[in-house]
Amino acid sequence: LFEEKMAAGQGVRPLSLAGHVGFDSLPDQLVNKSICQGFCFNILCIGETGIGKSTLMDTLFNTNFENLESSHFEPQVKLHAQTYDLQESNVRLRLTVVNTVGFGDQMNKQESYQPVVDYIDRQFESYLQEELKIKRSLHNYHDSRVHACLYFISPSGHSLKSLDLVTMKKLDSKVNIIPVIAKADTISKSELHKFKIKIMSELVSNGVQIYQFPLDDETVAKVNTTMNGHLPFAVVGSTEEVSVGNKMVKARQYPWGVVQVENESHCDFVKLREMLICVNMEDLREQTHTRHYELYRRCKLEEMGFKDTDPECKPVSLQQTYEAKRQEFLVELQKREDEMRQMFVQRVKEKESELKEAERDLQGRFEQLKRLHADEKAALEEKKRLLDEDQSSFGKRRAAAQLLQAQSLTANGKKDKDRKK
């Protein structure tokens, strides 16, 4: 694969080595670096409440993740993510487990898939933003993109529910889906076989692309091919241990027998663990990055108007597109600024006319009051004039009366004189 690619390229010729050079230690150098850095793995578990998601995670990773039971009365589907640091010998794993809460509980499940899709997209978006930053630190970035999605199918024994099909169809281009049949100890072997066939055929006929274990590496091709044939894995989870023979094994104890989790004839748990962790963890991460994330990125950038080639099929540099977009953006900003300015001017005008109106009003009132005042003044003056007139006529009358009195007095005195003689 490598050689064809290289030789087909630029006239590269193969060379033979005369001795040991030492670059075969590169995988070890890489591994040592990764041990220092640690690994990161994110699993999303989708399934109805009570189907056994948390128990399966506990069983898979041999720990107690301390998840509380959720209620069945969630109004909407929510996602609950928790991150753990695990270590096995010298390998450090930062594991994030995302569980759906309330999936399948609502009366109307039409929007059930949406929060899941949104969560996955948010993680892609977050990575894309980091990647497009000018000053970025991708090698320090905590990768939260979902690497594997375990879809828990109810062990009805019949077929997939329509909710299952709808959800998986929405997710198959965004995440690696690994369907599992939960609580598989409720199905008998023969029913299980028929159930698996029914599920796979339904997935195929509905065009749902689930994750196929990779076949290109010869060391694992054989085991992966076999495993691909066992999908979906029928799992049983348990963290309780029961004594079987002379060992303590993880199992579920029933009156009629003990279902051993790690017994391959009882359930496919060991196969799931093999495939998910031991054989294909790296491939799951790679597919997430090179296929699902690239698809998201491409769609997102195209949506924003970026292209690689313009309509005449000439290559367009990102810079040109960016400049064009920037111009658009600036023009838009300018337009909005103008609009705002116009609005401002408008409001000022309105306010001005309002104020003018008020001023006129006041002026009118003032004039009115002035008139009233003048009127009253005139009235008062009239009264005063009348009063003066009255006074002067009264004065005249009094003067006349006094004169009359004085005259009458002198007349009486003369009379008295006359009598004396």
Nearer to other proteins, 165 or 316 (CB): 316
Sign of the dihedral through C-alpha 228, 230, 236, 241: negative
Q: From the CB of 360, what's the least distance to other proteins, in Å?
A: 40
116 burial level (CB within 10 Å; 0-12, 13-18, 19+): buried
Cβ atoms of 116 and 104 within 8 Å: the answer is: no
Query: CB-wise, 14 or 207, nearer to other proteins?
Result: 14
Residue with Cβ nearer other proteins (192 or 235): 235
Taking the complex as a whole, how short is the minimal distance between the CB of residue 122 and other proteins, in angstroms?
A: 7
Q: How far is CA 234 from the centre of its chain?
A: 34
Q: Which is nearer to other proteins, 111 or 381 (CB)?
A: 111
Q: Measured between alpha carbons, how far is residue 176 from residues 40, 61, 75, 171, 205 in Å?
A: 16, 20, 28, 8, 19
d(CA 377, CA 374): 5
How many whole angstroms separate alpha carbon 143 and alpha carbon 286? 12
- Shortest distance (Å) from residue 36 CB to other proteins: 5
What single-letter amino acid sits at 166? V
The least CB distance from residue 220 to other proteins, in Å, is: 8
Q: How far is the CB of 258 from other proteins (least distance, A)?
A: 18
Smaller CB separation from other proteins, 126 or 253: 126
- Rounded distance between C-alpha atoms, residue 238 and residue 135, angstroms: 47
CB of 277 to other proteins, least distance (A): 5
Tell me 309's DSSP state.
B
Nearer to other proteins, 218 or 418 (CB): 218
